[in-house]
Structure 1
Amino acid sequence: MKIAYCVENIHNSGGIERILSTKSNYLVSHGYQVHMVVICPAPSKPFFYFDPNVKFHYLNLDIRKDHGLRKKINFNKNKKIFLDSLSKLFSEIKPDITISTFCIFSKYIYELKDGSKKILERHFAKYKRAYYYAKLDKYYLGRLITYFYRRQEYAIIQKFDKFVVLTHEDKESWGNRLSNIEVIENALTCIPKSTSELENKKVITLGRLNQQKQLDHLIEIWSVIAKKYPDWKLEIYGSGSQERKLKQLISKLKLTGFIKILPATPNIEKVFLESSIYAMTSKYEGFGLALAEAMSYGVPPVSYACKCGPRDIINNNKDGYLVAFNDKKEFIEKLSLLIEDENKRKKMGKAASTNILRYSPEAIMKKWMNLFDKLVNTN
């Protein structure tokens, strides 16, 4: 069976890129032909490892160069260029399944009449960026408001054979208007052979240094933790637009000796095995892959209960702590509990490494392969 992924870029060091490499490698090892269609110009080598049997196709469409009014004026022209380029490619590779990651023009692949089944795979929750609208879902009128806010997306989603989201929480947020919605979580990139001993006085977090991750919250939280536990350190792994701003905040709060910002690394095993707590202060998530992976290494997490992911992944008070969204005081309290109580830390870590196996590659990829078979065998 031939599977074609349509992505904007595959060469960054983020969670989307990592999970796509994991899925692609698993599929080719099980006899699938996988084609990765990269829309925008990109470096020649991806950050994460891809099996040599994964075939890359670069459209090299520089459609991110337009902004503002020019972007709107050139929208239909750029969309046509994209669809024409993809149509030509698909006439050669003839995929059975085509998967859009909801990026730029890839969400319009349903317009192609190439015979492949179309899947829309969303790596962010419904309330990406507009997370404040999530509060409206508690009320009937509020749900109508959020529907009209997203009505264009609803119309696009309904054109696909299947719409895949990452969490049950996110599925509920889309309501009952979509008959083609299905939950398939992100798979762990691997099952560790060993877990952390949780004895190093180190807390870590991984992710892009951007507004979404709210790492300024974690740095401000650490200004309190550093005074209480000066021998504990925080390490932040990643790069991004806010790196300079975050380093300035670290300097302003006199935390240079307590916090390190380190570049993203494909060798995350060593990072997890040398840490004792995972911290996440995100504004929103699609799933929280780094959170799940930390738990697979037996590292107990403390995380904001943001939308979406942490509530699905963490069993609160059993294998980690969920903290009320943006409640820095409670976050400090939960971090302090795990720092002070080594037995609790190790008990939670052991539970985390066991409970998280429900996201093993075998369990998750079985869901994907079953979906592929079902779609291909449906007229």
Structure 2
Amino acid sequence: MNIALLLEQKLDPNAGGVQRSTFKLVNIFQTYHHHSIIISVGKHTSRKENFEGITLYYVNIDQDIQLKNILENEEIDCVINQTGYSVGLTKLILKSKPSKTKIINTLRINPLNFYDNHQNIIQELFNRKKIGFLNTLLTRKLILSYHIIKQNIELSYIVKKTDAFVMLSERFKPELFFLAPPLRKNENKIFGIGNPFQRPEIDIKNLPKENIVLYVGRLNIQQKRVDLLLQIWKRLHAEAPDWNFWVLGEGQEKKKMKQFCEENNLDRITFFGKVNPNEYYEKAKIFHMTSAFEGFGNVLIEAQSYGCVPVLFDSYAAASDIVIQNKNGVLIPPFRIDEYVNQTKRLMNNPTELKKKSENGFENVLRFSYEKAYEKWEDVFKSLK
């Protein structure tokens, strides 16, 4: 099968989840003898590149004939749209593809991310635009109602017009059907496949572990809730004096986070910026994630692959796909800071339990191997025939 994976960003395997997963999927498909290419559609200068053995096309979105020509010349059998919640890109593919070419759209975030977190999202948006006085109960209800109607229409169109629809977890199906109930009739072409991950060839028993809590991710409030991250560390800073906190990542809240630490005399916290996290995973014992929503949570598997035990809010359905409660990590009801602090302290004070969860997490990573991921994608491909 000849496969084209589409995304809107320029390809950077070290950047966001969609780019990293796209790069991994192409390599996996090629391993199983599928001719696979990547097409980036956006405000690009049109060109063709070879990226680490992968054919990569950049297509200017205003010149749709380019996409049509690529799909025809490469004899593409299947297009996987990695920006699958884009009605515009879906329409472009439908317009450009050969008649026999199949379309698979993917959804890279949990469907109810706005519904579950609309109050915080609206508050942050209005405050940023300096119209906080409009943030009333009536306004929020109107915005939420509009959003539900809009998602119903868009998701219904996307799923019905494509040959398969892939989300990051089977657990997202009830969320999808809540937003667009008619899609229950199309359940046979809706799939849940987590992001693939290849566990590093290491022995976690020999890693130089230290008393370090680690965070890896963007520094924002709307999704990552780094405000809660620092409230938690403020408590732990006082109660766990022999532990340090390392923060990896960049974002709009970084300056405020540093200011918060200065105002509250929080030392033993280091901001490393955006760096390759692997050597930090090797040393950290506990991983903190405070996100309000996620699509999957690649960092959880990354942490487990280095024996770093995750503690996180059970704030999105796919969290429990990765973390099995009290076996390879700890899930906290959102957003109970007291319990988050207490559970972290329990791990800090119980090295035997921490070691067991670390070992279990390391084994858990194998469930997301390239081989396991391809088995699920093969089921999707079979459904297209």
The secondary structure found in structure 2 opposite 1:164 is strand
Match of 2:129 in 1: none
Give, in whole Å, the separation in 2 of the partners of 1:6 and 1:89. 12
Instruction: Please point out which of 241, 261, 264 is paired with 1:253.
Output: 264
CA separation of 1:113 and 1:165: change in aligned 2, threshold 3 A: same
Aligned residues of 2:199 and 2:366 also touching (Cα < 8 A)? no
TM-score by length of 1: 0.82
Give, in whole Å, the separation in 1 of the partners of 2:240 and 2:160. 52
Aligned residues of 2:85 and 2:158 also touching (Cα < 8 A)? no
Give, in whole Å, the separation in 1 of the partners of 2:16 and 2:262. 26
Q: Deviations over 1:94-135 (max 9, x none)?
A: 21110112264323323434131100111111023332479x
Match of 1:188 in 2: 197
Match of 2:158 in 1: 156
Q: Which has the higher contact order (CA 8 A, sep 6+)?
A: 1
Output the amino acid matched with 2:152.
R
Give, in whole Å, the separation in 1 of the partners of 2:201 and 2:251. 28
Instruction: Please point out which of 249, 262, 266 is paired with 2:272.
Output: 262
Aligned residues of 1:33 and 1:54 also touching (Cα < 8 A)? no
Q: Deviations over 1:339-366 (max 9, x none)?
A: 1111110011111112332111111122
Match of 1:120 in 2: 105
Output the amino acid matched with 1:8.
E
Q: Per-residue deviation at 1:209?
A: 1.9
Match of 1:140 in 2: none
Aligned residues of 2:85 and 2:105 also touching (Cα < 8 A)? no
CA separation of 1:58 and 1:51: change in aligned 2, threshold 3 A: closer
Determine if the alignment matches structure 1 residue 56 to structure 2 residue 56.
yes
Identity of aligned residues (%): 25
Give, in whole Å, the separation in 1 of the partners of 2:27 and 2:199. 12
Q: Per-residue deviation at 1:205?
A: 1.8
Determine if the alignment matches structure 1 residue 334 to structure 2 residue 319.
no
Give, in whole Å, the separation in 2 of the partners of 1:160 and 1:290. 30
Match of 1:277 in 2: 286
Match of 2:211 in 1: 201
The secondary structure found in structure 2 opposite 1:356 is helix
Instruction: Please point out which of 94, 99, 113 is paired with 1:110.
Output: 94
CA separation of 1:244 and 1:34: change in aligned 2, threshold 3 A: farther
Output the amino acid matched with 2:273.
P
Output the amino acid matched with 1:91.
E
Output the amino acid matched with 1:188.
F
Give, in whole Å, the separation in 1 of the partners of 2:307 and 2:71. 43
Output the amino acid matched with 1:36.
I
Determine if the alignment matches structure 1 residue 86 to structure 2 residue 94.
no
Give, in whole Å, the separation in 2 of the partners of 1:189 and 1:243. 31
CA separation of 1:355 and 1:245: change in aligned 2, threshold 3 A: same
Q: Deviations over 1:173-203 (max 9, x none)?
A: 1222432211111111434422265841111
Give, in whole Å, the separation in 1 of the partners of 2:85 and 2:150. 19
Computed over aligned residues only, the root mean square deviation of the Cα atoms, in angstroms, reads 2.6
Give, in whole Å, the separation in 2 of the partners of 1:130 and 1:248. 31
TM-score by length of 2: 0.81
Give, in whole Å, the separation in 2 of the partners of 1:146 and 1:2. 37
Output the amino acid matched with 2:216.
L
Aligned residues of 1:28 and 1:54 also touching (Cα < 8 A)? no
Output the amino acid matched with 2:94.
Y
Match of 1:231 in 2: 242
Task: Give the gaps of 5 or more residues in structure 1.
Answer: 45-49, 62-80, 135-143
Give, in whole Å, the separation in 1 of the partners of 2:22 and 2:350. 37
Determine if the alignment matches structure 1 residue 242 to structure 2 residue 253.
yes
The secondary structure found in structure 2 opposite 1:155 is helix
Counting matched residue pairs gives 341
